[in-house]
Amino acid sequence: MAQQFPTWGPRPPSHRPRPARRRHAVYAVAGALLALLLLAGGGATALYLRFDGNISEIDIDAALGADRPEDEPGGSLDILVLGSDSREGENEVYGRQQGGPRADTAMVVHLAEDRRGGTVVSIPRDTLVDRPACRDEDGGEVPAAERVMFNEAFAVGGPVCAVKTAEAMTGVRMDHYVEVDFRGFEQMIDALGGVEVTLDRPLRDSDSRLDLAAGDHRLDGETALALVRTRKSLGDGSDLERIQLQHSFLRALAAEVREVGVLGDPRQLYRLADTATGAVTTDSALASVPELTALARRLGDIPPERLQTVTLPVGYDPVDPNRVVPLEPQASGVWDALRADVPVPDRLTEGSEAEPKRDADPPALSG
């Protein structure tokens, strides 16, 4: 029997209690980043050339050629969004690099054709996948590998291999690619003037240099980065717990961006647009202020209650409990929903280790 999906309409009430932080839509990495880039559209057209020159680009379509999933008909968009933990150049301040840069945060952002909704699917970086053969950034061949962490693809083959691996895992063609690194994230937060958050309990993690008491805080870029990277201060210290905290933080970030967009002075808007465009790497088709602004407006047009966030359903690997594997058939159902351009049904996340347990501690970050 064919799998049945809901449509992009009002969602029926669920009989299963859902945590507050998952009940509301959030703007995840892509939403926050593209909302920042939207501010570039407020500048004079004469400034476009300056901002365009800030954007780094990768011609992923040329590199991958025709050996890719078919693009689904219609006007829906699928975007692979990565947060890179590269320690090269300015990023060396964040620690020594071991084994090359990695995709510290990975999300597939789906924007519906009718512009009424969207879905953000977080992929835990510890997820074991089969990586296809790739080429490294020097053109050398990297053989295919089984049961490797998803973020290794970026480490061995850069953005092109990350996209190729994501498409092999999901069966979904990625229309665009957006990457932001440590330094860029910190600079964007500082250009914004910080982000206001409320912690329900203290968070301390020497690895990410985090030391925050419970209560209200306005976080600068360095502290915000430590917050979204922390693992040791959260429950069992897993990447799954960290994803939940990231969702809450990026909701707070989106709120700050919207306020600046309405109330900010032109000089701050200029600095923010300049910083945001300088902080990202995109595919060639997206590497211009007009294209990024159009994408940001499309994202901004989606009502918050219809921007769904999901963590890929996973279970702990029976061989290595420090890793997770996609939970089937639920994980395939998530990608089927994206290809069908419909929301991910709630039932597909049931039983996933990524879902908060009923007896779990309350979220550290309100929102």
- Which of 107 and 363 is assigned the larger pLDDT? 107
The pLDDT tens digits for 249-298 are 877 777 777 676 545 567 777 777 778 788 888 999 998 888 887 887 78
Instruction: Answer whether residue 213 is part of any domain.
Output: no
Instruction: Answer whether residue 135 is part of any domain.
Output: yes
State how many domains the chain has.
1
Q: Which of 244, 250, 308 is nearest to 110 (CA)?
A: 308
Instruction: Answer whether residue 304 is part of any domain.
Output: yes
Instruction: Answer whether residue 358 is part of any domain.
Output: no
Per-residue pLDDT at 265: 65
- Which of 34 and 181 is assigned the larger pLDDT? 181
> What angle do helix axes 28-38 and 239-263 make, rounded to 10 degrees?
20
CATH of the domain at 336: 3.40.630.190
Domain residues for 101? 20-198+250-349
Per-residue pLDDT at 316: 93
Ranges 11-20, 35-44, 163-172: which has the least confidence: 11-20
Q: Which of 254, 268, 301, 256 is nearest to 42 (CA)?
A: 268
Confidence grade of residue 308 (pLDDT, cut at 50, 70, 90): confident
Using CB atoms within 10 Å of the CB of residue 12, give its burial: 0 to 12 exposed, 13 to 18 middle, 19+ buried: exposed
Instruction: Answer whether residue 366 is part of any domain.
Output: no
Confidence grade of residue 359 (pLDDT, cut at 50, 70, 90): low
Per-residue pLDDT at 251: 73
Mean pLDDT of 106-118: 90
pTM confidence score: 0.80
Query: How far apart, in whole angstroms, are the C-alpha atoms of residue 43 and residue 28?
Result: 25
Q: Which of 89, 112, 113, 119 is nearest to 101 (CA)?
A: 89
- Which of 135 and 249 is assigned the larger pLDDT? 135
User: Which residue type is seen at 149?
Assistant: M
Query: How far apart, in whole angstroms, are the C-alpha atoms of residue 118 and residue 72?
Result: 15
Mean pLDDT of 64-74: 87
